[in-house]
Each structure stands twice: as C-alpha cells, then as structure tokens.
C-alpha cells in the first residue's frame, strides 16, 4: 500500500494520515517531519534544504525527493507508506513517479480529502496558540476557559499571521493553483479517490480506509 494523501490546509490531513498509517501498519511519511529531522541531524540533504530556506527560496524538487526516497526505502516501509505533504506540485508528482519506476514500485492510491472553502476558513481562521507553551486553541471547537489566556500555563494567546482569515484565503488559493493539476494527473491514472472531509473524524477515517482498500 503506497499512498499519497491529498487535502487542503485545515482538512485534517495530518491527523487522518497518522490514523491511516496506524490502521494499515505502515509508516506515516510527512515532508515537514523529514525537513526537521535532516536539519536536526545535520545531513547533507538537510544542509542543502536549509541553505535555500534561509534565503526564502523554495527547496528544489530533487532535494525533497531525495529525502522522501531515502525514507521510503527504509525497512519499515517495505509494505508501504502514507505520504503526507508531498508531492505538492505536478512537477514533483512526475519526478516521484519517475524515481519509483526505477525502484520497481509505484503509487497505488491517492485519496483526496475535500472540504469547502468556507469551512476551511472557519477552521483555520479561528486558531490561537499559547505564546509560552504552544498549546493550540480554537475559537469555536476548543476555546480557552478565559479569553486570551492559556488554560495550561496562563500564557497569552496569539494568532499567527497566516491563520488570519485573509491570509487563510490566500493560502487556499495557492493550494488550489498548485494542486488542481496534481488532482487531474492522478485522476487520469485512475488512482484518485475523493473523500468528504466535512464528516466526523471517525467517519472520514473509515472512508479513507475504504478508498485505499479497493
């Protein structure tokens, strides 16, 4: 089971990727985690990625793919893996397919967790974080007992600039621009499966398992 999990920011993709990986007993491979790991360990790939990020530039596809390929070649990924956060663009998807062909494997399933824009703005736009302990809150689903104050440590809550509604809408526009061709690419391959991400978390998880079981 080799899976690419797609979904916009705020769709709960990270949570579902972990649950799907646990249910299928395969590793959850998140591109963000790989970046942090390589930078913390000071690997050559990590140093290269950091040099671009420090200049505010996008990390080249070959560097990202190098990290991903190294991870999915590990012994625990022989039975499969759930890719989360990669590929993000059509170019990355094509490069990944090309690299996997050389390895004699391929991506089997591509579930797409769908949530409408209004719901995504509601979810992302209401997020607040403690300035001291980083505990997350949400204005509607997980509010603090006292407005603006962390329940855990009493620290002041703040909202990240990219969690404000206008910034959220722009993030979603960028996602659509990058991902629409990617969705079409996997649909043409017959691998795309659409899943309603506006249901209860457990129901979304059930539908994702069905999407990768056929």
Instruction: Write the pLDDT tens digit of every residue in 135-178.
Output: 989 988 889 999 999 999 999 999 888 777 788 888 888 888 88
Of the residues 2, 19, 71, 88, which is catalytic?
Answer: 88
- Mark whether 13 is an active-site residue: yes
Cα–Cα dist 79/162, whole Å:
37
Q: What is the pLDDT of residue 109?
A: 96
Q: Domain limits of the chain? A: 2-116+166-211
Hey, how many other C-beta atoms are within 10 angstroms of the C-beta on 197?
A: 25
Q: What percent of the chain lies above the pLDDT cut of 90? A: 51
- Mark whether 194 is an active-site residue: no
Of the residues 13, 71, 123, 193, which is catalytic?
Answer: 13
pLDDT digits (tens, 9 = 90+) for 180-204: 899 999 999 999 999 999 999 999 9
The answer regarding whether domain 2-116+166-211 maps to CATH 3.20.20.70 reads no
Of the residues 2, 71, 122, 171, which is catalytic?
Answer: 171
- Mark whether 127 is an active-site residue: yes
Could you tell me the pLDDT band of residue 116, with boundaries at 50, 70 and 90?
Answer: very high
Kindly report the pTM of this predicted structure. 0.81
What backbone phi and psi angles, to 5 degrees, belong to 149?
A: -125, 135
């Amino acid at each position: 089971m080799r899976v690419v999990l797609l979904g916009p920011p705020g769709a709960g993709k990270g949570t579902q990727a972990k649950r799907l990986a646990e249910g299928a007993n395969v590793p959850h491979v998140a591109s963000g985690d790989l970046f942090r790991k390589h930078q913390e360990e000071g690997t050559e790939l990590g140093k290269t990625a950091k040099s671009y990020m420090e200049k505010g530039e996008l990390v080249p596809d070959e560097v990202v793919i190098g990290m991903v390929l190294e991870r999915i070649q590990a012994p625990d990924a022989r039975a499969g893996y759930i890719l989360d956060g990669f590929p993000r663009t059509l170019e990355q998807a094509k490069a990944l397919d090309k690299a996997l062909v050389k390895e004699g494997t391929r991506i089997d399933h591509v579930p797409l967790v769908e949530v409408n824009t209004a719901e995504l703005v509601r979810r992302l736009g209401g997020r607040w974080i403690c300035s001291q302990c980083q505990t997350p809150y949400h204005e509607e689903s997980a509010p603090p007992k006292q407005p603006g104050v962390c329940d855990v440590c009493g620290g002041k809550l703040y909202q990240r600039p990219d969690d404000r509604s206008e910034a959220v809408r722009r993030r979603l526009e960028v996602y659509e621009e990058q991902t629409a061709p990617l969705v079409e690419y996997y649909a043409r391959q017959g691998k795309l499966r659409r899943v309603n991400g506006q249901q209860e978390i457990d129901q979304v998880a059930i539908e994702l398992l069905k999407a990768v079981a056929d």
